[in-house]
Amino acid sequence: MASLYKHLLLILFISVVPISQSVILNPDYYKTSCPDFDRIVLEQVHEKQSKFVTTAAATLRLFFHDCMTGGCDASILIGSTSDNKAEKDHEDNLSLPGDAFDVVSRIKTALELVCPGVVSCADILTATTRNLIVMVGGPHYPVHLGRKDGLISHASRVEGSLPNTEMNADRMIQYFGDRGFSVQEMVALLGAHTIGFANCGKFTKRLFNYSAETPTDPALKPAYAEALKNLCSNPETNVTMAAFNDVKTPGKFDNQYYKNLPKGLGLLTTDNILVQDPRTRPIVELYAANETAFFKDFGDAMVKMSYFQVKGDGEPGGEVRRRCDASNSVD
């Protein structure tokens, strides 16, 4: 009887402690070691985003790509060297805008002046992302701190670690499921596409080469499809041309993304899938009708993501980098 009781307790414990959150992080991690952490991050974020309004979306995507490749360890910030092609130089990361790297680097420089060697680049990226989301209207979810910077950054590790627009619903659900996210969390996270851009190359197939029967994806609202065709009509310039992910309120973090989807205003095939698949459609409808529910679920999912394969205090494979673009062993 006692062993059954112990067994039940164990099951209960396992089911309430998400596996990805086994590393102990906490919001007050720098309270005594770097009391100015919050202020410095906030000031720098405000300065950067006010001048370069695309920084918020750029940084949110940078954070996602970092976490999905070997965990949230700022490995994406490391630069390539003569004998190592780093993550950031993998094809899938080449379109990550420089402003996202720049804001983290500015904050690191400012922090090193007041508390040298204390704050990890991975924590800076996590806190910067949250603050930028808030600045463009999104939810203020908690930032848990204490992660270490990774020692490894190889382009080869990006292979297969990021989602792509060719995925169907099953593959999307599998991709996020493999990383511990439920279908609801996946739909909430995709709400990140309420801000930012996508280059023509990421959706021209929907416009010009959809299928043998029809060149244009019938799920796209016709007027929207025409506007996108005009934008992306020249293959020569398509590399630089980009459309807003959320055509209605592109710079505002809100639930407009979900309202767009049933109207044929989802930009990427993978966005549109969310409203077509019966497993995800009810969640799209929920978030379209209830921004509070979206903000709550998005915030919770971001906190969960921020724990993904994190290296905590005393664990091997982590350090506090002196500069974010190189491991300490390099300089």
196 part of the interface to ligand HEM, by CB under 6 A = yes
243 part of the interface to ligand HEM, by CB under 6 A = no
Residue 300: both structure tokens together: 């919770």
Q: What are the residue ranges of helices labelled H in the chain?
A: 2-16, 37-51, 55-68, 98-114, 121-135, 169-178, 183-190, 204-208, 222-231, 256-260, 269-276, 281-289, 291-305
* Rg (the chain; Cα; Å): 21
Which stretch in 73-81, 134-142, 161-169, 222-230 sits in contact with ligand HEM by CB under 6 A?
Answer: 161-169
Which stretch in 2-10, 108-116, 195-203, 255-263 sits in contact with ligand HEM by CB under 6 A?
Answer: 195-203
Which residues fall within 8 angstroms of residue 8, CB to CB, at 6 or more apart?
A: none
Specify whether 144 is catalytic: no
Which stretch in 53-61, 75-83, 133-141, 220-228 sits in contact with ligand HEM by CB under 6 A?
Answer: 53-61
Candidate list 7, 46, 65, 140, residue with the active-site label: 65
Q: How far is the CB of 162 from ligand HEM (least distance, A)?
A: 8
Residue pair 185/304 in contact by the 8 Å Cβ criterion: yes
Q: How far is the CB of 79 from ligand HEM (least distance, A)?
A: 20
Judging by beta carbons within 10 Å of its beta carbon (0-12, 13-18, 19+), is residue 303 exposed, middle or buried?
middle
* Residue selected from 64, 287, 294, 307 as contacting ligand HEM according to rule CB under 6 A: 64
78 part of the interface to ligand HEM, by CB under 6 A = no
321 part of the interface to ligand HEM, by CB under 6 A = no
193 part of the interface to ligand HEM, by CB under 6 A = yes
Which residues fall within 8 angstroms of residue 111, CB to CB, at 6 or more apart?
A: 34, 36, 37, 40, 118, 119, 124
For residues 257 and 264, give the distance between their C-alpha atoms in angstroms, rounded to a whole number.
Answer: 11
* Residue selected from 122, 190, 247, 288 as contacting ligand HEM according to rule CB under 6 A: 190
* Residue selected from 74, 155, 189, 228 as contacting ligand HEM according to rule CB under 6 A: 189
172 part of the interface to ligand HEM, by CB under 6 A = yes
Q: From the centroid of its chain, how far is CA 160?
A: 16
Q: Give strand pairing partners of 319.
A: 149
Which stretch in 140-148, 197-205, 228-236, 285-293 sits in contact with ligand HEM by CB under 6 A?
Answer: 197-205
For residues 265 and 253, give the distance between their C-alpha atoms in angstroms, rounded to a whole number.
Answer: 16
Closer residue to ligand HEM, CB minimum distance, 62 or 111: 62
Residues with catalytic function = 65
Residues at the contact surface with ligand HEM, assessed by CB under 6 A: 54, 57-58, 60-61, 64, 95, 97, 163-165, 167, 172, 189-190, 192-193, 195-199, 202, 245, 268, 270
